[in-house]
Amino acid sequence: MFEIFGDQALPALIKTVGYLGIFSIVFAESGLFFGFFLPGDSLLFTAGFLASQGFLNIYYLLIIMFLAAVLGDNAGYAFGRKVGHKIFSKEDSIFFHKDNLVKAEKFYEKYGAITIILSRFIPIVRTFAPIVAGAGKMEYRQFLSYNIIGGLLWTVTMTLAGFFLVKIFPGIEQHLTLIVIIIVVISLLFPAIHLLKEKLNSKK
């Protein structure tokens, strides 16, 4: 799966699609059920890095990513609110796997409304959490509050991490591919541990 990060593919993609493309990717990954496979964390980090190199404006970037994250979650919530739990009976397809939705629902049941914030930093779960919140009829004002907080924390921390890392460690840009891979591995570590615990508990 890491081939997509090799040979500066992700930086090249960002340079090609520009602000509109970045907005679209973050929007889709934040709340559209087919966006779970998109590179959320690594995209934010790499875009922040490119901003530090002058390819993007960091202020425009932060605003665009924040809006995309919040609006994407709102779209997911609205979809879940409209469709409800009918979506759980939907057949699996290339872009939809019911298991991902079930994982998000279990995460939501365990952590409650704060899932909207926590899920921002967990791939796959962050895509389906707003859909589950909508299907579960979570009160919209509460959802929006957590959505804004989570969207702000996620976009700012990940983007500024990429922006300032090269300034703190000069020359580290030569290892950008490795750093992005590490980010992907770390972001997948939490759901992997969570899944392992569930399997161990089910055997007891």
Which stretches within 53-175 are classed as H helix? 58-83, 98-111, 115-118, 125-135, 140-168
Output the pLDDT for position 93. 57
Contact 135, 85 (CB under 8 A): yes
R_g over Cα of the chain:
17
pLDDT for position 116: 87
Q: What is the pLDDT of residue 2?
A: 35
- Burial letters for 115-150: b for 16+ Cβ neighbours within 10 Å, e otherwise? bbbbbbbbbbbbbbbbbbbbbbebeeeebbebbbeb
Q: Which pLDDT score is estimated for 191?
A: 58
Residue ranges, the chain, pLDDT below 70 = 1-8, 33-37, 88-98, 100, 171-177, 180, 184, 186-204
**Which domain range does residue 64 map to?**
2-203
Give the pTM.
0.78
Q: Which long-range contacts (CB under 8 A, 24 or more apart) does 192-199 make?
A: 194/107, 195/103, 198/106
Q: How many CB atoms neighbour CB 11 within 10 A?
A: 20
* pLDDT attached to residue 128: 84
What is the total count of domains within the chain? 1
Q: How far apart are CA 23 and CA 99, in angstroms?
A: 27
